[in-house]
């Protein structure tokens, strides 16, 4: 195998492990970095070298530009893969890498500035005459300004943090009287999360579907797309289920083509290098609006890897090392779905990290699990509480859903117990929620807007209510069979077995 230069992976958790796996397959030696909280972490174990950065707080370690660069120089690494989150979308980090003679695996600082900054990205997209969500031209500083905009465009509107990410600092406002309080709340939340309380606003698109296009650019204006993903199933404005192809675009195939065209136009215009994602909102009529660009690898990239067979991380690395002759648009096959298993309260969706005594994840049968946990460990309070991404492929969406149902039923996550068998620690997971989701008639029918979870409280009810909840889902399934709920999925007993058979046993009828 060709001798290769070492790559430093400036990240942790499942994504650091996933990147290391591809580096090894290509023959690149790997360098891990870690914080105090991650001394015994799996990503440290799988890499060839590991460098300590500092304290557990991200600012002292994974977000510390100087320390990461220093680790790279000491280790002899020549390239840096940023993963997602942390330093992946910071143009000044890209510049610091260049200054130190290191290759940043990703776009240039300039294209990151043009598209990574939400307000700047809107101006870029306007210059290309691509439709975007109507909104304020820039940041707004008072609730009166927000009110003026709302009166002109009409309610509902959405207040958003200029520095936003992860759905933080976002508030939907439906009436004039809510605006002052919402403005203050969103600004406070943004200040707490990003150290910047400035807000901008958008018209809230009704019946919203989140659809994004995976693109890949050569850095010189050449661009291809690798299809779309629909990520409409969200809680707290954050994705929890992602799939490709997008069910909403199956209803509007012309919209799909128009979105590909728009995505390629933007990618070419900013001379984007490597993997990136253009996010759009699609409404119930098939109109699409640009939302933002993520100038990095996306959490949900396995969905695209399943349907295209492309190793996106390999493409990123080979493009950065100038070994990739630019690829053509890959064919897409079948259907893939990913769900995110989180350490979080299944009702409030707030993080609930803690020690894990046992974890069992499925494998085989077109199931892929990306996780940093092997048998046990601890979901740290310091970082994102994701435990694993469970993804599946099937020749059809229905088969992918069946495989996901079986896979999720195999997952086991347990907290440690004391001598009396009582659970220790604060860990909670959304596993039961995901198991309900994969059986939900609306999800089976592929008709999911971003308010699905908020509208269906049966998905989030506590275990004490579970018997009646299961009956409620069985009831919905009966309605579906009776034709009172629209759905395009072929219902057979395998797809819906546990709750369906429960309802039959109980003789439950609508």
CB of 139 to ligand ADP, least distance (A): 15
Q: Considering the rule CB under 6 A, would residue 284 count as an interface residue with ligand ADP?
A: no
Nearer to ligand ADP, 172 or 423 (CB): 172
Question: To which H or E segment does residue 303 belong?
Answer: helix 301-308
Question: Do residues 370 and 14 make contact, with C-beta atoms less than 8 angstroms apart?
Answer: yes
Which residue has 């579970």 as its token pair?
466
Catalytic residue chosen out of the listed positions 18, 122, 132, 296? 296
Residues numbered 354-413 forming contacts with ligand ADP, rule: CB under 6 A: none
| 205 vs 401 by CB, closer to ligand ADP | 205
Rule CB under 6 A: is residue 292 a binding residue for ligand ADP?
A: yes
Q: Is 113 a catalytic residue?
A: no
Residue 408 and residue 367: Cα distance in Å, rounded?
10
Distance CA 172, CA 206 (A): 11
Work out how close the CB of 63 gets to ligand ADP at its nearest, in angstroms, rounded to a whole number: 17
Nearest CA-CA partner of 339 in 232, 434, 427, 461:
434
Q: Based on the shown chain and the rule CB under 6 A, indicate whether residue 167 belongs to the binding site for ligand ADP.
A: yes
Min dist. Cβ of residue 292 to ligand ADP (A): 5
Residue 183 touching ligand ADP (CB under 6 A): no
Q: Does position 205 bind ligand ADP by CB under 6 A?
A: yes
Closer Cβ to ligand ADP, 158 or 453, answer by number: 158
- 211 CB contacts (<8 Å, ≥6 apart)? 228, 229, 230, 231, 232, 246, 248, 249, 259, 279, 280, 281, 282, 288
270 binds ligand ADP (CB under 6 A): no
User: Using an 8 Å Cβ cutoff, are 146 and 140 in contact?
Assistant: yes
Edge-to-edge strand ranges of the sheet holding 288-294: 288-294, 273-282, 209-218, 223-235, 238-244, 335-342, 386-394, 367-371
In the chain, the largest separation of any two C-alpha atoms, in whole Å, equals 71
**Residue selected from 18, 132, 210, 332 as contacting ligand ADP according to rule CB under 6 A:** 210
Among 291, 392, 407, 444, contact with ligand ADP (rule: CB under 6 A): 291
User: What binding mask, one character per residue, do residues 217-256 give for ligand ADP by CB under 6 A, x or -?
Assistant: -----------------x--x-------------------
Going by their DSSP bridges, the two strands 7-9 and 30-35 should be labelled as parallel
Binding piece for ligand ADP, criterion CB under 6 A, among 38-46, 108-116, 163-171, 217-225: 163-171
CB-CB contact of 342 with 388 (8 Å): no
Measured between alpha carbons, how far is 249 from 329 in angstroms, rounded to an integer? 19
Cβ-count burial 129-163 (b if 16+ within 10 Å, e if not): ebebbebbeebbeebeebbebbeebeeebbbbbbb
The reply on whether position 133 binds ligand ADP by CB under 6 A is yes
Q: What is the dihedral of CA 500, 501, 503, 505, to 10 degrees?
A: 170
> At 466, phi and psi to the nearest 5?
-65, -35
Find out whether 32 and 11 touch, Cβ atoms under 8 Å: no
Q: Judged by CB under 6 A, which stretch of 50-58, 124-132, 161-169, 213-221 contacts ligand ADP?
A: 161-169
Would you give the distance in Å from CA 368 to the centre of its chain?
A: 16
* Contacting ligand ADP within 301-360 (CB under 6 A): none
Stretch that binds ligand ADP, among 37-45, 140-148, 197-205, 392-400 (CB under 6 A): 197-205
Question: Smallest distance from the beta carbon of 101 to ligand ADP, in angstroms?
Answer: 32
HSE-CB for 432 with a 13 A CA cutoff:
19
Asked if 450 is part of the footprint of ligand ADP (rule: CB under 6 A), the reply reads yes
Binding mask 74-113 toward ligand ADP (x if CB under 6 A, else -) reads ----------------------------------------
Site for ligand ADP (CB under 6 A): which residue of 54, 165, 330, 445?
165
Which residue of 164, 276, 353, 441 would you call a contact of ligand ADP, by CB under 6 A?
A: 164
Identify which range of 82-90, 158-166, 245-253, 463-471 contacts ligand ADP by CB under 6 A.
Answer: 158-166
218 or 292: whose CB is closer to ligand ADP? 292
Task: Indicate whether 444 belongs to the interface with ligand ADP (CB under 6 A).
Answer: no
Cα(96)–Cα(454) distance, integer angstroms:
43
CA angle in degrees (0–180, nearest 5) for 449-367-256: 40
CB of 291 to ligand ADP, least distance (A): 5
Measured between alpha carbons, how far apart are the two ends of the chain, in Å? 65
Binding range to ligand ADP, per CB under 6 A, among 162-170, 222-230, 337-345, 494-502: 162-170
Contact range with ligand ADP by CB under 6 A, out of 12-20, 35-43, 205-213, 374-382: 205-213
The smaller minimum CB distance to ligand ADP, of residues 65 and 193, is found at 193
Q: Which of 208, 247, 353, 362 binds ligand ADP (CB under 6 A)?
A: 208
Binding residues for ligand ADP, how many (CB under 6 A)?
18
Which is nearest to 16 in space by CA: 287, 277, 384, 488? 384
The span of 58-66, 75-83, 93-101, 204-212 binding ligand ADP (CB under 6 A) equals 204-212
Residue 40, helix vs strand vs coil? coil
Shortest distance (Å) from residue 300 CB to ligand ADP: 12
The answer to the question of residue 453 lying near ligand ADP (CB under 6 A) is no
Is the Cβ–Cβ distance between 187 and 163 less than 8 Å? no
- Residues designated as active site: 296
Residues forming the site for ligand ADP (CB under 6 A): 133, 158, 164-167, 202, 204-205, 208, 210, 234, 237, 279, 281, 291-292, 450
């Amino acid at each position: 195998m060709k001798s290769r230069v070492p790559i430093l992976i400036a990240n942790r958790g499942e994504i650091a492990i996933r990147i290391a796996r591809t580096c090894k397959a290509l023959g690149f030696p790997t360098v891990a970095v870690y914080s105090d909280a991650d001394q015994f972490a799996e990503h440290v174990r799988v890499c060839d070298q590991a460098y300590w950065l500092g304290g557990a707080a991200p600012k002292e370690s994974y977000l510390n530009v100087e320390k990461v660069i220093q680790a790279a120089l000491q280790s002899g690494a020549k390239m840096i893969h940023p993963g997602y989150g942390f330093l992946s979308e910071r143009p000044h980090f890209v510049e610091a890498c260049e200054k130190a003679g290191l290759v940043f695996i990703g776009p240039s600082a300039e294209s990151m500035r043009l598209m990574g900054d939400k307000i700047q990205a809107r101006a870029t997209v306007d210059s290309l005459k691509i439709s975007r969500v109507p909104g304020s031209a820039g940041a707004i500083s008072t609730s009166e300004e927000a009110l003026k905009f709302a009166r002109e465009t009409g309610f509902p509107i959405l207040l958003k943090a200029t520095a936003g990410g992860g759905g933080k600092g976002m508030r939907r406002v439906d009436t004039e009287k809510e605006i002052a309080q919402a403005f203050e709340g969103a600004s406070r939340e943004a200040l707490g999360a990003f150290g910047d309380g400035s807000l901008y606003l958008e018209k809230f698109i009704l019946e919203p579907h989140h659809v994004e296009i995976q693109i890949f650019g050569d850095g010189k204006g050449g661009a291809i797309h690798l299809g779309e993903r629909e990520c409409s199933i969200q809680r707290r404005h954050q994705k929890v289920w992602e799939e490709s192809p997008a069910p909403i675009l199956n209803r509007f195939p012309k919209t799909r083509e128009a979105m590909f065209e728009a995505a390629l136009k933007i990618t070419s215009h900013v001379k984007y290098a490597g993997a990136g994602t253009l996010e759009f909102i699609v409404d119930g009529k098939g109109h699409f609006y640009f939302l933002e660009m993520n100038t990095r690898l996306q959490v949900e990239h396995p969905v695209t890897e399943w349907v295209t067979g492309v190793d996106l991380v390999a493409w990123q690395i080979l493009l950065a090392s100038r070994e990739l002759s630019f690829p053509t648009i890959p064919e897409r096959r079948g259907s893939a779905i990913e769900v995110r298993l989180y350490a979080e309260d299944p009702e409030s969706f707030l993080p609930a990290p803690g020690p894990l005594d046992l974890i069992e994840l499925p494998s085989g049968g077109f199931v892929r699990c990306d996780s940093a946990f092997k048998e046990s460990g601890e979901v740290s309070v310091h970082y994102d509480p994701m435990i694993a991404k469970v993804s599946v492929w099937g020749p059809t969406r229905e088969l992918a859903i069946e495989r996901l149902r079986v896979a999720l039923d195999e997952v086991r996550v347990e907290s440690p117990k004391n001598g009396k068998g009582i659970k220790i620690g604060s860990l909670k997971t959304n596993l039961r929620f995901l198991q309900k989701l994969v059986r939900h008639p609306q999800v089976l029918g592929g008709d999911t807007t971003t308010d699905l979870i908020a509208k269906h409280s049966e998905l989030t009810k506590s275990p004490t209510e579970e018997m009646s909840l299961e009956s409620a889902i069985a009831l919905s399934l009966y309605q579906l069979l009776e034709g009172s709920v629209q759905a395009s999925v072929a219902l057979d007993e395998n797809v819906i077995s546990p709750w369906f058979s429960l309802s039959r046993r109980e003789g439950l009828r609508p």
